[in-house]
Amino acid sequence: MLSASAIVVSCAACGMERTENYKIYNGHQLNKCSRCGFVFTAERKFPVNQYEDVYSGLTAYRMMIDDARLTFEGKSGYRQLWWFKRKALSWLHGRLSSGHLLDLGSGPGTLLMVAHRKYGYEVQGVEPASAAAAVANGYGVPTFCGTVEEYCAHAREKFDAITSFEVLEHVPDPLSFLSSAKRLLKDQGVLLLSVPNLDDRYCLHQQIKPAMPPIHINFFSRKSLRFLLKRAGFKMQRTYTLPIPTSSVRNIHGLRGFILRIPYLAITRLFECQDGTTLLVMATPFSHGPNLH
């Protein structure tokens, strides 16, 4: 049973003091905010080392380490990045031809290597997983091993751009995470991030360990993420999803469901209500005053 101190009933996204019990997902109670729709685990304190324990045993994690090596060796690059990272770099380069880029949750440094080589950005990573941070530093990508709050406490410079891909769904205090990011960003800077998309019907039905609680503990829609960004002092400028038949659908429904998603996407596109499993967002700081609450 969860202790009272481990239970959260207020909404981190919009600040509403009371939220409703929503559903049990992988044995964990999810709460939902009736105001903004933010869904999150009621329990918020989990061992930090759970991420390394889970990810280090995954084929996808080992592939990520291999991708970093191939990128360092010049055998891989921009085309091998996930679609949302390529899209984000395209958006960023359209606004910023040069500058200093900070990646939060930078892993073994693949994105930063590509950003430096392709666009000439000066780069800095922040990565809490020690093994991944060590790989990045070994490849010459300056990477702080720790949380963004820990990095922010000692950082002396501000950045022209901050990226963070598939990270916000993991952090116990997303408001603190984004508020720290804002303190690290220049007034005219840009924030680019991606999260699993709660507006997609498959988001809370996946049965693969890394996509469920206690690994994913925050589930954002466009609406709830807009509320959270505003509280942290950001204005959401644009969003994008790529509605494709994904492995998560196959995981839930098998090969038949994977194939049937193709006509489903065609129908939703016809009615202009199409969504993808990943939500990419661009945001900029409010130019007036402190964070909005």
Q: Residue 251 falls within a domain, yes or no?
A: yes
> Is residue 8 a part of any domain in this protein?
no
Average pLDDT over all residues of the chain: 87
Whether 203 maps to a domain, the answer reads yes
Confidence at residue 260, expressed as pLDDT on a 0 to 100 scale? 67
Cα(35)–Cα(227) distance, integer angstroms: 10
Q: pLDDT (tens digit, 9 = 90+) per residue, 104-126?
A: 999 999 999 999 999 999 999 99
Whole-prediction pTM value? 0.87
Pairing type for strands 278-285 and 185-196 reads: antiparallel
Residue 52 belongs to domain spanning:
47-285
Instruction: Note whether residue 105 is domain-resident.
Output: yes
Question: Domain tally for the chain?
Answer: 1
**Residue 71 above 60 pLDDT?**
yes
Most confident of 16-25, 60-69, 202-211: 16-25
Whether residue 164 lies inside any domain: the answer is: yes
CATH assignment of the domain containing 248: 3.40.50.150
Q: Is residue 7 part of a domain?
A: no
Percent of the chain at pLDDT > 90 equals 68
Flag whether 250 is in a domain. Answer: yes
| pLDDT the model gives residue 29 | 95
Question: So what's the pLDDT on residue 188?
Answer: 95
**Residue position matching structure tokens 């049937």:** 260
Residue 37 lies in a domain: no
